[in-house]
Amino acid sequence: MNPRRILLELFDCALRAVHGREAVARVLRGHSGTCSVFAVGKAASAMALGAHDALGGQIVATLVVTKDGHADPELVGFEGVTVIEAAHPVPDERSLAAGAELERRLTALGKQIHPIFLVSGGSSSLIDILGTGRTLAELRALNQQGLRAGIDIESLNAQRATISRLKSGGVARLLGDRQATALFISDVPGDSPDVIGSGLLGHDGRNRDDIRRIVVANIGVAVGAVIERARTHGLTFESRATRFDRAAEDVAREFVEALRLTAADGLVWGGESTVKLPAQHGRGGRNTHLALTAARLMAAEGPLTILAAGTDGSDGPTTDAGAMVDAGTLTRAELAGCDIERAWRSFDSGTALECSEDLIHTGPTGTNVGDLLIGIKHPAGLPRGLGAERLL
């Protein structure tokens, strides 16, 4: 058993279990009637492809708004598809252009056409309509503040709603009284449509139920897939009942200690940690910082390997999904010339883990349900320190 290969396989299995294409197609199969599709978020391309798989010629038009580099080339083969790539995690003019296009299409939508919305994480930055007197600079500053300070998602969404006409049920208000269907891939605690994507399709304050809201994938599905796949290797993995949501350093300490103490072969936890970045910081995100913290804690330990990665394939502003570390990580990084303590203090974890060859790269994954921590215990003498691999 190679523990690193096992962890990569488990992570890959989790991504497949919550992939937007099949999750959407599964729910929409059997829907009848002419419709128009609006997909927004990091998983928008995969979700839109799932809608076309299920509905085919029933779709008269599709608007896909997604992160730079996340548009699936397969969408080009479908008639009536418009793709807008916008900025993430900080909005730009393209985000406002996407919001204007969404509003234009909804205003012109014929009464006989049923709107289907596909929403995943990242929507908050990718599409917006500013409130009266508000500026893009204000919106950008708020997002940047959220990234630096580790503000919880509900508080951040409440602040966004004071600047934006789309947040907190804004799309629902644009729909008026017409019926619609909204499918969500959730990356938030509680899986509430009032929070996912800053509540684009959340309840708009009126006592009405014109919008059918369905969560088609979440972190619980991903965690369950890891546990089931581990069983095929004869391994017992344990999960926890709640999502992790605290500071990355605290989560790392808790996870390493729990992995040391468990009688199981491994652990899998889902959630999203937070980091508070200094004004000057290096390359990295919450998962690589968590992983480097875990590596520091495991320096004297032998039989542990831990993977920390984002299910969307990106860790904060980086193109790394995360990292996989073990007791040899620090030694490998130091042999490559990295000052580990400096890298850790200055939030330059990506550089350190690149030196140790522990970074994980997946590219866009077609989903976004939060982050996964997967750890495995293994007997001394098994191969470690082989470096992380690119997932297929």
CA dihedral 161, 162, 163, 169 (to 10 degrees): 30
Judge whether residue 1 has pLDDT over 80.
no
CATH 3.40.1480.10 positions along the chain are 3-15+220-377
Higher-scoring residue by pLDDT: 131, 145: 131
| CATH top class, domain 19-217 | alpha beta
Residue 288: φ, ψ to 5°? -70, -35
At position 103, the amino acid (one-letter code) is E
Q: Please state which of the four CATH numbers 3.90.79.10, 3.40.1480.10, 3.40.50.300, 3.30.2130.10 is assigned to the domain occupying 3-15+220-377.
A: 3.40.1480.10
> Given the structure tokens 């808790």, which residue do they identify?
254
Nearest to 180 by CA among 211, 213, 204, 215: 211
- The predicted pLDDT at position 117 comes to 98
The highest-confidence range among 194-203, 314-323, 335-344, 381-390, by mean pLDDT, is 335-344
Angle between helix 20-28 and helix 44-55 axes, rounded to 10 deg: 30
- The predicted pLDDT at position 381 comes to 39
**Contact between 61 and 104 (Cβ < 8 Å):** no
Summary mean pLDDT of the chain: 91
Average the pLDDT over 56-74 and give the result.
Answer: 96
Judge whether residue 385 has pLDDT over 60.
no
How does DSSP assign 116-150, residue by residue? EEEE-TTHHHH---BPTT--HHHHHHHHHHHHHHT
pLDDT band at 161 (very low <50, low <70, confident <90, very high): confident
Residue 128: φ, ψ to 5°? -165, 160
Measured in Å, how far apart are the chain's first and last C-alpha atoms? 20
Kindly tell me the burial class for residue 273, based on how many C-beta atoms sit within 10 Å of its own C-beta (0-12, 13-18, 19 or more).
buried
Q: What angle do CA 183, 33, 218 make, to 5 degrees?
A: 10
Q: Structure pTM?
A: 0.91
pLDDT band at 206 (very low <50, low <70, confident <90, very high): low
Distance between CA atoms of residues 166 and 195, nearest Å = 12
Partners of residue 267 on adjacent β-strands: 238, 375
